[in-house]
Amino acid sequence: EVIKSDARCLLITGAGRAFSAGANLQQRGSSDRPSAPGSTLETHYHPVMTKLRKMDIPMVTAINGPAVGVGMSFAIMSDYAVASRSAYFLQAFANIGLVPDGGATWILPRVVGWRRAVELSMLAERLPAETALEWGLINRVVDAEDLMIEAMKVANKLANGPFSLGLIRHAYWESFSNSYAEQFQLEANLQDRASSSRDNAEGVKAFLEKREARFTGQ
């Protein structure tokens, strides 16, 4: 769906017991001539993931249950991820003779390291939320009844933050592919944009007046 133009933070969670159970294998198995998974990725998942990647607002995921397959990719690409204590992550692809997708082979080694990424993908075993926290895959683990409270608290804080949060998000995503020199240049360019924003003026004014800033996202 289209993200509202005035949105200042995106919060994603699962609608049922799982955050996402991954692709519908029953539907694929019932077809005499199932479509090639690669074409589905190119026409459905890639555009969505790319749009989320290029958003200029913060993204929070509230992982309420299992995040499996491509669902795990959605769960971990956020800027802040909080998971229920009963949640787990599973790169299940090897269990059915496939390879990880949804950008998993790109983001996992960059977040948890090459060895752990390969372990998750080849052994295809569940990664409990607590271990995911230890590995740096997510930010926080809470009891199920506190999940949305915590997620909304973070989302509200980000939604009330300055225009520069989107620039910060952009800077860190670009750091995955930029050289050291390129990142320096990007920081300079983004700093010029941030310093000309209304929120920067408000932040400086609030600091001098010793009060809390009232950011508008502009």
What is the predicted pLDDT for the residue at 3? 63
Residues contacting residue 88 through CB under 8 Å, at least 6 positions apart: 66, 67, 126, 127, 128, 129, 132
State the CATH number of the domain containing residue 80. 3.90.226.10
Report pLDDT digits (tens) over 150-190. 999 999 999 999 999 999 999 999 999 999 999 999 999 99
Range of the domain at 173: 164-208
169 found inside a domain: yes
Both 195 and 129 in one domain: the answer is no
Read out DSSP for 94-105?
GGGT----TTHH
Both 25 and 120 in one domain: the answer is yes
88 found inside a domain: yes
Report pLDDT digits (tens) over 16-39. 899 998 666 665 555 556 667 677
Kindly report the three-state secondary structure assignment for every residue of 30-45: CCCCCCCHHHHHHHHH
Report pLDDT digits (tens) over 58-103. 999 999 999 999 999 999 999 999 999 999 999 999 999 999 999 9
215 found inside a domain: no
- What are the backbone dihedrals phi and psi of residue 108, each rounded to the nearest 5 degrees, phi first? -60, -50
Both 170 and 134 in one domain: the answer is no
Q: Which residues are catalytic?
A: 46, 101
Both 75 and 44 in one domain: the answer is yes
What is the predicted pLDDT for the residue at 93? 95
Indicate the number of domains in the chain: 2
Domain boundary at 120, 142, 159, which? 159
Nearest to 100 by CA among 59, 71, 62, 137: 71
80 found inside a domain: yes
Report pLDDT digits (tens) over 103-157. 999 999 999 999 999 999 999 999 999 999 999 999 999 999 999 999 999 999 9
4 found inside a domain: no
What is the predicted pLDDT for the residue at 38? 76
216 found inside a domain: no
Both 84 and 185 in one domain: the answer is no
Both 65 and 155 in one domain: the answer is yes
Both 61 and 140 in one domain: the answer is yes
Q: Is residue 10 over pLDDT 90?
A: yes
Question: If you average pLDDT over each of 2-11, 16-25, 38-47, 191-200, which comes out highest?
Answer: 191-200
The two three-digit tokens of residue 25, written as one number: 């294998």
2 found inside a domain: no
Read out DSSP for 176-206?
TT--HHHHHHHHHHHHHHHHTSHHHHHHHHH
Instruction: Evaluate the CA torsion angle 84, 11, 136, 41 in order and state its sign.
Output: positive
26 found inside a domain: yes
Both 20 and 117 in one domain: the answer is yes
Both 104 and 181 in one domain: the answer is no
Both 69 and 150 in one domain: the answer is yes
Say what angle helices 180-195 and 164-175 make with each other, to 10 degrees. 170
Q: CA torsion angle for 58, 148, 152, 59 (degrees, to 10)?
A: 0
Both 35 and 133 in one domain: the answer is yes
Chain centre to alpha carbon of residue 115: 21
Q: Are 34 and 172 in contact (CB under 8 A)?
A: no
Query: pTM for this structure?
Result: 0.88
What is the predicted pLDDT for the residue at 157? 97
Both 77 and 99 in one domain: the answer is yes
